Structure formats: structure tokens, C-alpha cells
Amino acid sequence: MGDEHENLPHVVVLGGGFGGLQFCKHLKGHCRITLIDRTNHHLFQPLLYQVAMAGLSAPEVAEPIRSIFRHDRRITVLMDTAERIDLERRRVVLSTRDIAYDYLVIALGGGVHYFGNDHWEQHAPGLKTLADALRMRRMILTSFEKAENCDDPDERRRLMNIVVVGGGPTGVELAGAMAELTRQVFKRDFRRINPAEAKVILVEGGDHLLDTYPVDLSLKAAEQLESLGVVVMFNHRVVEVTDACVTLDDGETIPTRNVLWGAGVHANPITRTLGIELGPGGRIPVEPDLSLPGRPDVFAIGDIVTLRDPNRVLVPGVAPAAMQMGRHVAALIDEDLGQRLGAVRARKPFVYVDKGSMATIGRKRGVAWVGGLKFSGLLAWLTWLGVHLIFLIGYRNKLAVLLSWFYSYVAFKRGARIIFNAARSAAADSSTPPQTSAPGAPVASGGSAATIETDG
């Protein structure tokens, strides 16, 4: 950043997800911006499950943050970890330095929530980062390779059972993609096992899937999963996860080496350094304008926030909400920067605009609720494909994803079925499992981190 920017108001943004990117793109005021993320890339999380299920490679769902803002000289991008926020001194403590701010935007997102059972993480990876997706993919592919070599029928059954925990969008999409992977993609690849005999089990604690969707769409989602061969278990909760089985609250034990976790999200642990009372899941209770109570210079956006807007709508932790929040805060800070010194004004509250929800369940299967219209099956699937292509960052990524989808549709194949560093990664998984924390939180190094650079 040139010297001409040094004396301008300094806006610090923590997190390069949907909210952080939208904020930086829409902030037009005369200021300098420092965007901090613990990775060097923006991740398109809605397609992350396709990386985990070998449908896409990692570079196709990520874009270097520096590349996104290469033409905006106001923006400095730092790859660093935010460890603590000092509200009194108006500074962010990073792993390498402290950085002062005039305005702070916390857009760090959430991490995987195991409801007090964090030790389950070593056996049941969640899905928040590229490392998570590659670890999950490696676990599934390795299990089927081991099953091909296994003569013990009980162990082969454990290797070919897949338990997905949680009936939200992540769980539904993982279960559908996993069923297609075993029944359509693997069926010509193996000789000693029949991949179609693999059992995909979705465990949901409530009595329906996708609890934020209309009931009829939830029923449609369950029907479409069952048509793929997925066993959906309602009103069951997981009480124990080991490397060999999952135990449910009714005492039933499911033998499996593959548990995919999609059951909960908690806020980035940096919220605990703010010294304020937090909401459910460690989320920040913000003012109507998205600022922290008593801190008009500090904003929080995305699924790190708990808020009911003026219409009494509980703002969901989804990408469209984070993007709307980012644009709203950018407009407020622009107004602040344009005010005469000492001028006082009332800030506009954030109002969430629900543009709909959709989830894909597999090839020509999905559910969508857009503009009051509800539809499922092929139309929902096509709508999902189109919307996600539109919002995917980078023209190269759009083309690569479109070609991958076309190839998968025509050939019933997945092109990203490569296991990287299997022996080394298996040792890393058994000793020091990769962390699934949110952007901005510390990350342990290990086998899965190394695969990110080579996947593609």
C-alpha cells in the first residue's frame, strides 16, 4: 500500500468469506483496508461437499484473495491468525503482530460443533475447510480400497458403512452424494466388493430433515434420499463415536469406519476474547445496525452473529445473509466517513431479505424454496446448479466446475478420486487430527494440510 493511504482511516476486516468479501467490494469511502484471513483463499463453501465426495477438486471451489482484490490499491491482504481482540485499545492481536483499527469488521464465520464431545472429531470430520473436505474424501476412498483387500466380512461391512450425522443441508447433500458415489461411480471400479452393497445412513435428531424448510419440501428431500438407497433415521441422537462404531441414544450400535459430521456449528472462538456476554453457540449478540453493544466502531457479520431484525426474523447463518450484512455495514461506514466531524445520525438497522433456500440431493434431485415457490426434483436441481455457478468466484472456476459437472452427468464419473499421501496422512489422522476450526482460528499442521497444494 502506498504512502498516500497511511493517514486515512483504517478499516480492519477479519475473515475472507462471503461477508468479508462483500464488505470489501462495497466499501467505497476514502480509507485503507486490511483484510486478514488464516488462509490465502476465499472458499465457496456451498460446493465444499462436492470436493469431499470427489466431484470437484479443491482449486475449483477456491480463489486466492489477493487475486480478487489485485486492482484495489486500498486493500492490503494478510495471511495471519487473529488470536484476540482488544476492544479497549482498539487493536487486533495476530499471531505475528498487533494491528490497530479505526473500524473493525468481524466476519470469521463458524466451526464444527460436537456439543461438548470434541474428541469425536478424530473419528467424525466436519466440513468447514478445504482440509476438512480432503480429509473426508481421503477417508472414504481409503475405506473402499481397504474393503477391496479385506477378507473379514464384518470388517468389510464396517468399511462400507457410512454414517452421516445431521439432517441439515450439509448432511442431506453429503448423504445424497455419498449414495451416488457408491452406487453409480464405484460400481465398475472394484472386483472383489460390490460398492452398491454399501450402506449410507443419515441420523437426524428431529422428526424431519431441513428444519428451516417447509414441511412438504422436507418430506420430498427424505423421499429423494430414500430413492437413492439412503437409510434415514429420524428421532435418533448420537451418544458415542469411536473408530469402529456409532452408538445411538436408544442403545443401537452401527458398525462403521466412516462418520461424516454435519450436525452443528459454533462461532469462532475469538468471540470469547471480547469480554461480552455471548449468545447460543458463542455467537455475538449485535445491535440492530450489526455493531457490538457500546462499540459503534466494531461490527460483526455472518454466522458469528445472533440477531432478530426489525421484522422479528432470526437472521440465519447462511451465505446470502452474510453477503447482505457485508453490504449493509459497508454502507454504514461509508456514511460515517462522509459525515462532518461531530455530526450525529441514527444508523439504519439491518433487515434480512430471504431470497430462498435450496439443497441438492443428487443427480436430478433437489429441493428449492424461492420467492414463495416450492419445487423439487429436476427443476430444483437445475436451479441449484445455475445459482451456484453465478455466485462462484472467478471465471476459471466457473468454467472448470461447469465442465466437471457436465463430465459427471454424461459419464457417471467423478474426476477427483485421487488419494494423496495416504500412508503419511493416515498416521497423521491417528495421532494429530486436523482442526476444523473457523477462519481466523489456529490450525494444526498435518497430513491433510499438505494435500491442499497437490489436489487438482
**287 given a catalytic annotation:** no
SS3 at position 32? strand
Q: How far apart are CA 34 and CA 69, in angstroms?
A: 11
The residues near 218 (Cβ < 8 Å, ≥ 6 apart) are 208, 209, 210, 211
Between CA 200 and CA 258 the distance in angstroms is 10
Question: What distance in Å separates the CA atoms of residue 278 and residue 248, rounded to the nearest whole number?
Answer: 31
Residue 317 contacts residue 303 (beta carbons within 8 Å): yes
CA 33 centroid distance within chain: 25
Residue type, 127: L
Q: Name residue 315's amino acid.
A: V
Distance of alpha carbon 36 from alpha carbon 66, whole angstroms:
11
- Alpha-carbon distance of 104 to 345, in angstroms, equals 20
Among residues 173, 226, 252, 335, the one annotated as catalytic is 173
Q: Are 392 and 47 in contact (CB under 8 A)?
A: yes
Q: Which of 317, 287, 322, 324 is nearest to 301 (CA)?
A: 322
Count CB neighbours of 10 within 10 A. Answer: 19
Q: Assign residue 182 a region (left: φ > 0; alpha: ψ between -120 and 50; beta: otherwise).
A: alpha
> What does the alpha-carbon distance between residue 98 and residue 101 come to, in Å, rounded to a whole number?
10
Cα 353 to chain center, whole Å?
21
| Inter-residue contact 62 to 41 (CB < 8 Å) | yes
Radius of gyration of the chain measured on its C-alpha atoms: 22
Q: How do 10-14 and 103-106 pair as beta strands? A: parallel
| Catalytic machinery residues | 173
